Amino acid sequence: MYGITSGIRAGEHRVAGFDSAQVTRWLLEHGQGEPCPLMSRTLETYEVRFAAGGSRHEAARDAVRRITGLAVDGHTGMTAALDHTQRVFRQVTRNDKTRPSDPHEWRRLLDGAVQLAATEETSTVDPCTVPIQMPTPAAAVIPHTGLLENVRNGAWLSRQTFPPLRHAVDGLIPEGYCLLVGAPKIGKSFMVLDLALAKSTGGKALGSLGVVHGPVFYLALEDGDRRMQGRCRMLRGDEPLPAAFEYIVTVPPTALMDIIGEWLTMHRDEQPLIILDTLGKVMPPSANGETTYQRDYRIGSQLKAMIDSAPGGSLIVNHHDRKASSADFVDAVSGTHGLAGAADTTIVVNRDRLSADGLIRVTGRDVREGQYAVTFSEGAWTLAGETLDAAQEAAAARSLMPATGSSDRTREVVQYVSAHPGCGSSDVEQALDLLAGQGRSYLKRLVDRGLIERLSLGRYGPLVPLLTVTDDSIGGVTPVTPVTPCVTPVPAGQKASVTPVTPVTPPPVTGPESRDTPPCVTGVTGVTERLRPAQTGVTHGVTPREGVTVNGQLLCTLCHRSDALIVFPDGPRCPEHYP
């Protein structure tokens, strides 16, 4: 083995018979020109290595082999680079006092490196002078994953023709997933049973709403066969029940989706109706790591997807409300918003205990939002009117009464005041057996809520619809005669003289009338105002508004009232604004 000092490592191939003359000739053939950029950077690298110390022999060996290797690749300036490296090597050798210099060491390193380089095929083109050709990128190939297959555009949508929206109950419950919410034991099960029987016979729901005949699957999970029979007879009498009405009273929670899916498979194209009563009976627990909202939305989405697979089909899910009240009736849904969020339609049913009057509130994606008055009697729910519009008007009229959630005592006070207009707090306390002072508190709260009206000081009456007041509707009261100042024409050249207005003293008030119950005014035309009901011994007036013609448009200068006017120096005034 020639060893390190020869410039050839153990195991490396050496050209046979390659003497020093051939080495020199090879250097002359491949080392001409100025060092190329890569050759120059190589010199700088090894200068740093020589200066850093360490083995000068290894540094020189590696530098010579790197420079000759670059020459083989076609880089120019090998001879100049080797001369520069040799000078640096000798300088380092002279400064090294720990090791004697060897004048033949450099030659041996050079011969060994050239003999190794001579075994390679030498390039004639300097890579540093060849422009770098960036590869042309191939056309981007996007793998087909099928993720965008369901993307539609506006042009596609414009060409489509979709079937019209169908309803389980005309105008009230469209196809899809409907969540019906209400308090326990207010008649939700009777309501959905009535819908089921109407659907299976093609009859009327809620007494007057049309229903298309079709199969029904009623999951009555809170009932048994005997109760089901009794309720059906309450609603239909002795009429035989239709075969299209199918029901089940027991469902394992884990089998709910499978049971509904199997029934839908048999009736998918028949515009079916499925009723789940109630959801709480089969609601599964949350999965590991799943929030209650995620559970509710997952179950609601599964039910919606199932009924959406049946064109025209409807799924009504009975669910309880929560105890807390809210301004938004959708918040009445017990649980999280995940249930109502997944539903296409949400219906909230309200009815006070021991009361027949109820209210249905509806909102949804494909239904008109509204509230409708209904009546519950002997298991049957009926609209308060023949149409939804009529029921909506009835609901608006009922809104004058205390809203759902008011106490029974509040309703009793409103009903008493409505039946006894002009009553006072003592009358209410005596009639309803209230403690002293309670009647005044109830009446004040009801006035603040806009449920009754204060007729005068300490006297109350119901709110009544607005009526048109004419001369014929008000009579028996002496009209107010306005006092008009007399203006005498002034001859030319004379000083004007104005006769002052003489104040008029009002006649004394007799009987139960007082400042708080002013007398009526006649001669009023074209006034739209509330008519206050008359009470014994008291004649209530009408408070006209600005712009009313009253005997020459004589109105109070401060409030524009026209009752019991007296003309003062600064203008006419009503009793409330007498000086």
Domain ranges of the chain: 4-128, 167-398, 408-462, 467-579
pLDDT for residue 524 is more than 80 = no
What architecture is domain 167-398? Answer: 3-Layer(aba) Sandwich (3.40)
Rounded CA Rg of the chain: 52
The string of pLDDT tens digits covering residues 457-477 is 889 988 754 333 334 433 444
pLDDT at 110: 78
pLDDT for residue 3 is more than 50 = no
pLDDT at 178: 92
Cis peptide before 549, with omega less than 30 degrees from 0? no
pLDDT-based confidence at residue 219 (cuts at 50, 70, 90) = very high
The mean-pLDDT minimum among 220-224, 371-375, 414-418 falls in 414-418
Give 514 or 38, the one with higher predicted confidence: 38
Alpha-carbon torsion (239, 240, 241, 244), positive or negative: negative
pLDDT-based confidence at residue 553 (cuts at 50, 70, 90) = low
pLDDT at 467: 37
The mean-pLDDT minimum among 2-6, 167-171, 392-396 falls in 2-6
* Closest CA relative to residue 420, chosen from 537, 541, 536: 536
Give 407 or 118, the one with higher predicted confidence: 118
* Angle at the Cα of 476 from the Cα atoms of 474 and 480, rounded to 5 degrees: 85
pLDDT for residue 545 is more than 80 = no
pLDDT at 186: 87
CB 484 within 8 A of CB 546: no
pLDDT-based confidence at residue 549 (cuts at 50, 70, 90) = very low
The string of pLDDT tens digits covering residues 66-86 is 888 877 777 788 888 888 888
pLDDT at 60: 80
Q: For domain 408-462, which CATH number applies: 1.10.10.1110, 1.10.10.10, 3.40.50.1220, 3.40.190.10?
A: 1.10.10.10
pTM attached to this predicted model? 0.49
Sequential DSSP letters for 330-387: GGGBSS-HHHHHH-SEEEEEEE-TT--EEEEEEEESSS--EEEEEEEETTEEEESSSS
pLDDT at 321: 79
pLDDT-based confidence at residue 275 (cuts at 50, 70, 90) = very high
What is the overall mean pLDDT for the chain? 75
The string of pLDDT tens digits covering residues 82-135 is 888 888 888 877 777 666 667 777 777 777 777 777 777 666 666 776 665 656
The mean pLDDT of 27-46, rounded to a whole number, is: 79
The mean-pLDDT minimum among 21-25, 122-126, 284-288, 539-543 falls in 539-543
The string of pLDDT tens digits covering residues 491-502 is 555 555 545 545
pLDDT for residue 571 is more than 60 = yes
- Dmax (CA) of the chain: 155
